[in-house]
Amino acid sequence: MKKFYKLIFLTTLIAISFSVAHSENIQNDLLYISGISSYNNNDVVSAKQKLETLITYTDKYPIAYFVLGKIYRKKAYLDLDKAKIAFNKFIDLSKDSKLKAYAKLHLAYISIDQKDYVDALNLAEGIYAELPNDPDVKFCYAIILKDYGFHIYDSRTSILDADKAIKYLKQSLSIRPGIFETTNGFASLLLSLHEDYPKVQRNDCDEIQRLLNKAKSLISVSNGFDVDKSENRNVLVNANQKRYENLCR
């Protein structure tokens, strides 16, 4: 009889444990669904609270980490270290290769924000090798090449560094032409070379004018109704055009 009651007791414990675990799974599912729904409805405060709570209970929802990583990159909740942890956790847990590549894109942008240009470039090169035709990947790689090129020029110690910067900017424009900041910025860099190294003979005036003409055509591209940005771009191009006329004519 004692064995019989012991068996009933053990069976009851197993049933209760299963019931509790099942209940916890349902609660976690509901918390996950609610958190993602809040994010999709632009209720970022609620999404952040729910998903942060969720990951203290379980790590079986990789997307929760991906979304939290995006939230931590937003200006109102900016925490780049937390964002890196979240995206890396997502990469470890997820089986979705495309989303893992996008998580790496976020990590590359974070590295740029933290001025770690080499890490950003290594990440971007790896993703680009994986998804060379993806427009978001191409844009990210081009932006990182641009930023790294300008960084090299700004911290140059000789004209050799300037040539290295030019290589990265040319590569950026070959991967993703049509970005105003790269096009006008490249023209500005070449003009600076004329100003900073006046004794060095250069034959890139035609290239500078070509870049300026292209930049002029991009002034209103991707701006929508952002008139202020268009006006600012126009000022930048006109300033470079005047520098060009003083140096190359």
Flag whether 34 is in a domain: yes
**Does residue 240 register a pLDDT over 80?**
yes
Q: Kindly report the number of other CB atoms within 10 A of residue 179's CB atom.
A: 21
Measured between alpha carbons, how far apart are the two ends of the chain, in Å?
A: 108
Q: What is the pLDDT of residues 174-227, one digit of tens each?
A: 999 999 999 999 999 999 998 988 877 778 999 999 999 999 999 887 644 455
Separation of alpha carbons 145 and 128, rounded Å: 12
Is 81 exposed, middle or buried (CB count within 10 Å of its CB: 0-12, 13-18, 19+)?
exposed
SS3 content of the chain, % helix, strand, coil (to 5): 80, 0, 20
pLDDT surpasses 90 at 101:
yes
Range of the structural domain that residue 22 is part of:
1-95
Residues of the chain with pLDDT > 90: what percent?
A: 73
Q: Is residue 111 part of a domain?
A: no
**Closest C-alpha among 145, 191, 183 to residue 165:** 145
- pLDDT tens digits, one per residue of 59-76: 999 999 999 999 999 999
pTM of the full structure = 0.84
Per-residue pLDDT at 106 exceeds 70: yes
Burial class (CB in 10 A: 0-12, 13-18, 19+), 198: exposed
pLDDT for 230 equals 82
C-alpha span between 9 and 135 (Å, rounded): 61
Type of residue numbered 42: N
The number of C-alpha atoms within 13 Å of 118 and in the hemisphere containing its C-beta is 0
Q: State residue 222's pLDDT score.
A: 63
3-state secondary structure of 179: coil
Flag whether 106 is in a domain: no
107-157: per-residue pLDDT in tens? 999 999 999 999 999 999 999 999 999 999 999 999 999 999 999 999 999
Q: How confident is the model at residue 5 (pLDDT cuts 50, 70, 90)?
A: very low
In a domain, 45, yes or no: yes
Q: What percent of the chain has pLDDT over 70?
A: 88
Q: Round to whole Å and give the CA distance between 235 and 139.
A: 25
Beta carbons of 183 and 173 less than 8 angstroms apart:
yes
> What is the four-CA torsion angle of 122, 124, 130, 135, rounded to 10 degrees?
-170
Average pLDDT, the chain: 87
Spatial separation of the C-alpha atoms in residues 167 and 146, rounded to whole Å: 10
Structural domain contains residue 231: no
Total H helices, total E strands in the chain: 11, 0
**Contact, 90 vs 69, CB < 8 A?**
yes
Q: How many structural domains compose the chain?
A: 1
Q: Where residue 2 falls among pLDDT bands split at 50, 70, 90?
A: very low
- Domain membership of residue 51 (yes or no) is yes
- Nearest to 167, CA basis, from 153, 181, 177: 153
- What CATH number has the domain bearing residue 63? 1.25.40.10
Q: Is the pLDDT of residue 16 over 70?
A: no
- Per residue in 75-87, pLDDT (tens digit) is 999 999 999 999 9
Q: For residue 23, what pLDDT band results from cuts at 50, 70 and 90?
A: low
